[in-house]
Structure 1
Amino acid sequence: MSPALPDAPRWTALLRGWRDHPGPLHGRLQAQLRAAIERGELAPAERLPAERPLAALLGVSRATVVTAYDELTADGWLIRRVGSGTRVSAGAPRAAPLLTLRTPVGSAAGAAPDLDFTIAVPLLTDPQRERLRRASQHAFGESVYHPHGLPELRALLAELYTKDGLPTRAEQIVVTSGAQQAIALSAATLLRRGDVALLETPTYFGAIDVMRAAGAQLVGVPVEGSGLQPDTFMRLATAHAPRLAFLTPTFQNPTGTVLPARARERLAAFVQDRALPTLEDDTLLDLGFTDEPPPPRISVYAPQAPIINVGSLSKLYWAGLRVGWMRLPPALAAPLAQAKTLADFGGSLMAQHAALQLLADLPGLRRERRAAVTPARDLLAGLLHAELPEWHFEVPRGGQFLWVQLPTPDASRLTHHAAAHGLRLFPGASMGVSPLPDRYLRLPFTLDPARLPEAVTRLKAAWVSFQSRDGQGGLA
């Protein structure tokens, strides 16, 4: 068995989609590495992995990696020396440094379509498309900017928060381009380079990316069977004095856990006492599978605490709508509202008019989403139990993911085997703020149910290939 590659999740993210390039395998790998150097994701003098561990990660022969490295060296992109390994050449074209984003991206242009388990977005049906067309028909009556959002939409969102036990005025609502913009604006406004951000681990990769981009030092609070432990959160917050925290208490991404009410109450009291700005991600809150409501938001227990609630229609209805929002606490309202104004002068009025009409029947949206997702969840869970019984997971009470534990310490390596079978996977270790065991996959059940059997067939084939290839990837 080849030695494991250090920081395999990072190299998995950096080389994601490398097979999409045309030509022989060594040429595809060469193109991906060259592009990473050009973009600034690999810095001058940075060391590349040794050939055998990289070949094992990608599921290719050592000769493929050696040939790619040799050709990049001949072209001046790399330097190879005995004893010091393979490094990016100081003379290689330089670009402004870029992060290696954990956030998955789509296939390269012209690439054959894969079955994609990396992005979780709801399918849009023909009746839903027609509803969107009807809902946006009133969007053409004005041509003004609403930097903080359509007034009627802000008023409706404030009313919905108030009904849920969190008294809210319309002035506290800022409409954003999806929840991601809300998270990014909060991080950019509240963090400075070197500040500490406290996040669950594992957690949503988009939050990891934006806080790393802000220059923050990330500290992870482990997520266990019922979510994070308040005592651990408080201990780490006391030790590291974070300037921002990020929590997903309801149907946590990716584990699906739901934080109990008592834990929420204790966190709310601590956040209020320490005046710790905290993002409470509610984007999955509406995706429950039973009639039993989740516990109240953390902010309900401390309405004046510096807690920013973030919501979105992307998971509940359609990601293409790009309508999200922030419910701002008084202490943070001014800087965050100004940041939104400076970012774009306001979002699409057509999308906001559509959101206004859709949210007028929020209970109906929830029922419709549950009816669509529950059968897909059960189908995927049943297929995995039947075809891959050695894989373990809990069926969640809500959300849109299965958090699957594999009997191998090399899940990142498996994702590259799966790519050769036309299946895109995302290693769970890439969702870690601090290093996680490389034993998990996040599998969304938002893929077209008609394609789930084929997806699991490919997944099983990739697993069999992974286990048998040179004796690698066997049971740990």
Structure 2
Amino acid sequence: MRHMSASQIARLVGVDPAARPYYRALADAVRALIMDGQLPVRVRMPAERHLAETLKVSRTTVTSAYDLLRERGYLESRQGSGSWTALPDPATTADNPWLSTDGDGLTQLQCAAPPAPTHLRAAMLEAVEDLPRYGMGNGYDPMGLPVLRERIAARYTARGLATRPEQIVVTTGSQHAIQLVTGLLVGTGDPVLVESPTYPHAIDAARLRGARIVPVGISHEGWQSDLVVGAMRQSGARLAYLMPDFQNPTGALMDDATRAAVVGAARRTDTVLLVDETWSELALDEVPATSPMAAFDTDSRVISVGSASKLWWGGLRIGWVRATAALARRLAVFRSSVDIASPVMEQLVVARLFDLLEETRAERRRTLRASRDALVSELREHLPEWTFTVPRGGGTLWVRLDRGGSTPLAEAAAYHGVRLAPGPWFGLEGTLEGYLRLPYTAPPPVLADAVGRIRAARDHGPAGAARPPDSLIAMV
């Protein structure tokens, strides 16, 4: 089908004439049809005038709905030729969840990132003292400063995984690390296995390489090894991206038996495992001891990614890759197509922070546990119909809604002063609409206020609330 008539669109959308604002309800309905596959991509939409006449609304209303769909990337138009349905490019759409501004006055609950710890200032001052002796060089080290690589390697060794500094590549954040690995190892059409739900940037990295994404479902209870193994075997996955430590967004923790089983299966299917350990240092309760996933690796197919953003501070923009020494050198050469090296000052700060790792972990446990418990309490009091499992670490709740979808809820919540991360951000198109990710990285009073606003958004929609400012939204 190449064209949809006004009567066909009107029958499909089924918008309540009393919906307010009507143009937004119309745009949401068309978007939902596209996401559900009921309205194919590249189908020509009826002219605004014809659809307005059929729906018995003003042409301005339909024009506003079309404008909103174009803004979100679900409609493309050419003057004199009409408008066609489309799927948004995640890198350019106005509702892109990974571009940021905090200046819109809204509570930023779409972002699971804690503020800087108290030890950051001291580490920065010490790093300033260290800086002059590095200033004699050119500042470019694609592998990363030796002092930081030594600290990272020592931490892996302390966790039971013997590691040499030459196995470490320092990157500009964990997303940079993921992009480097996928860029080097994944080609067009290669199957890449991801958890569902999962960290959205990993999906983006695979899409940028033209990979075929293979989802495998997980829950609060974690991974079913037979499903993961079956998905790897049946898809012939070139690479599998996993987050076994307080998975984002579910908070699940993979036990050692499952880690060993998955690594063993990867060996049999010749799959490379890209293991994201960004949250690994943030256990909030007593949990069973687990080993790094690479500890079960016998043929160098587990690549580990870490970051300073959750334990310390996202503004440092320092991450790392642990791989074989040979692969680490290949990654360092490959990164020249993206950048030359990570900032020296930030590397020195993180090196100093590694000396304060246990103090920072204790501080994070105290503050995140208080925030987690406050958020849980507020949700159980004000939104008891919503269900979730309380994670024993990490920074997010994965909440199942009792009714409606999380995308319209997030839009309504913005009118009430809160930015939210709806479930579809964490999966493939059209999935996870019944879920919402809520981080507990903000202080308890902020979370208490936010839950009240979310309750108002759920019960009343955007009615009576101010229109949110237009902005780009960050999500990590």
Which TM-score bucket, shorter chain as reference? Answer: 0.7 to 0.9
Is contact 2:192-2:237 (8 Å) kept?
Answer: yes
Residues in 2 aligned to 1:245 and 1:69: alpha-carbon distance in whole angstroms: 39
Partner of residue 56, structure 1: none
Pairwise CA distance, 1:457: 1.3
Aligned to 2:349: 354
Is the alpha carbon distance of 1:130 and 1:161 closer, same or farther for their aligned partners in structure 2, counting shifts above 3 Å? closer
- TM-score between the two structures when normalised by the length of structure 1: 0.79
What is the match of residue 118 of structure 1?
110
CA distance in structure 2 between the aligned counterparts of 1:461 and 1:25, rounded to whole angstroms: 20
Q: 1:127 to 1:298 in 2, by over 3 A?
A: closer
Residue aligning to 1:87: 84
Evaluate the alpha carbon distance shift between residue 63 and residue 166 of structure 1 in structure 2; reply closer, same or farther with a 3 A threshold.
farther
The number of residue pairs the alignment matches comes to: 419
Q: Counterpart amino acid of 1:67?
A: T
Aligned to 2:370: 375
The answer to whether the aligner puts 1:106 opposite 2:106 as a matched pair is no
Instruction: Give SS of 2:130's match.
Output: coil
Which of 51, 54, 62 pairs up with 1:66?
A: 62
Whole-angstrom CA distance in 2 between matches of 1:378 and 1:72: 38
Q: 1:265 to 1:63 in 2, by over 3 A?
A: farther
State the partner residue of 2:38: none
Partner of 2:301 in structure 1? Answer: 306
C-alpha displacement at 1:305, in angstroms?
2.9
Counterpart residue identity of residue 263, structure 1: T
Letter in 1 for 2:168: I
CA shift at 1:3, angstroms? 9.0
For residues 13-412 of structure 1, what are the structure 2 equivalents within 5 Å? 45=42, 65-68=61-64, 78=77, 86-87=83-84, 103-107=97-101, 112-124=104-116, 128-142=120-134, 143-144=137-138, 145-292=140-287, 294-329=289-324, 332-412=327-407
- Contact 2:287–2:392 (CA under 8 A) maintained in structure 1: no
For the residue of structure 2 that corresponds to 1:237, the secondary structure is: helix
CA shift at 1:303, angstroms?
4.7
Contact 1:250–1:294 (Cα < 8 Å) also in 2: no
Q: Distance in 2 between matches of 1:285 and 1:327?
A: 14
Distance (Å, rounded) in 2 between the aligned partners of 1:107 and 1:129: 24
Q: 1:336: Cα distance to partner? A: 1.8
User: Given the superposition, is the C-alpha separation of residues 125 and 407 from structure 1 closer, same or farther in structure 2, using an over 3 Å criterion?
Assistant: same
CA-to-partner distance for each residue in 1:412-455, whole Å, 9 max, x for gaps?
Answer: 11111111111111111221136534111000011233322221
Residues 1:50 and 1:396: Cα distance change in structure 2 (over 3 Å): farther
Tell me, in whole angstroms, the C-alpha distance in 2 between the residues paired with 1:126 and 1:70. 48
AA in 1 matched with 2:145? L
DSSP 3-state at the match of 1:278: strand
Cα distance in 2 between the residues matched to 1:184 and 1:289: 29
CA contact (8 A) 1:107 1:113 kept: no
Compute the displacement of 1:47 (Å). Answer: 5.5
* Structure 1 unaligned spans of 5+: 7-23, 31-43, 52-60, 90-94, 470-476
| Corresponding position: 1:459 with 2:454 | yes
Per-residue deviation, residues 107-159 of structure 1 (Å, max 9, x unmatched) = 48xx6310111111111256533443334431232233211000011112111
CA 1:434–1:249 in structure 2 vs 1: closer, same or farther (change >3 Å)? farther
| CA distance in structure 2 between the aligned counterparts of 1:363 and 1:96, rounded to whole angstroms | 42
What CA distance in whole angstroms lies between the structure 1 residues aligned with 2:387 and 2:451? Answer: 15
> How many Å apart are 1:363 and its aligned residue?
1.7
Instruction: Report the alpha carbon displacement of residue 335 of structure 1 after superposing the two structures with TM.
Output: 2.6
Q: Distance in 1 between matches of 2:372 and 2:244?
A: 21
Give the Å deviation of 1:235: 1.3
Q: Which amino acid aligns with 1:138?
A: D
Q: Secondary structure at the match of 1:165?
A: coil
**Contact 2:282 2:393 survives alignment (8 Å):** yes
Query: 1:148–1:340: 8 Å Cα contact kept in structure 2?
Result: no
Which residue type is aligned with residue 132 of structure 1?
M
Alignment CA distance shift 1:248-1:71 (3 Å):
closer
Aligned residues of 2:401 and 2:435 also touching (Cα < 8 A): yes
- Distance change >3 Å, CA 209–CA 46, structure 1 → 2: farther
Separation of aligned partners in 2, 1:467 and 1:341: 47
Q: How far apart are the structure 1 equivalents of 2:432 and 2:46?
A: 20
Q: Distance in 1 between matches of 2:125 and 2:215?
A: 43
Residue 441 in structure 1 maps to residue 436 in structure 2? yes
Kept after mapping to 2: 8 A contact 1:104/1:118: no
Shift in CA distance, 239/403, structure 1 to aligned 2, threshold 3 Å: same
Percent of aligned pairs with the same residue? 35
Counterpart CA distance in 1 for 2:46 and 2:127 is 52
| Partner deviation per Cα, 1:93-115 (whole Å, 9 max, x = no partner) | xx99956586433248xx63101
Residues 434 and 68 (structure 1), Cα distance of their counterparts in 2 relative to 1, 3 Å cut = closer
CA shift at 1:291, angstroms?
Answer: 4.2
Deviations 1:44-90, CA, capped at 9 Å, x for gaps: 95667999xxxxxxxxx9977513257799xx973799xx995279x
Q: Note the aligned Cα RMSD (angstroms).
A: 3.7
Measure the CA separation in 1 of the matches of 2:89 and 2:104.
31
Distance 1:50 1:441 in 2: 35
Measured against aligned partners, the alpha-carbon deviations of 1:212-263 in whole angstroms (never above 9, x if no partner) come to 1111110101103432222111211111111111000110010001112111
Structure 2: 5+ residue stretches without partners: 1-9, 15-20, 28-40, 49-56, 70-74, 465-476
Q: Is the contact made by 1:140 and 1:350 (CA closer than 8 Å) also made in structure 2?
A: no
Q: For residue 216 of structure 1, what is the amino acid of its counterpart?
A: A
Cα distance in structure 2, aligned partners of 1:269 and 1:49: 54
Over 4 Å off, 4+ runs: 2-6, 24-27, 44-51, 61-65, 69-73, 95-102
Paired amino acid for 1:112: D
Q: Distance in 1 between matches of 2:125 and 2:429?
A: 44
3-state secondary structure, aligned to 1:154: helix
**1:270 maps to amino acid:** A
Amino acid at match of 1:221: V
2:112 alignment partner, SS class = coil
How far apart are the structure 2 equivalents of 1:86 and 1:391? 39
CA gap 1:77/1:463 in 2 versus in 1, 3 angstroms: closer
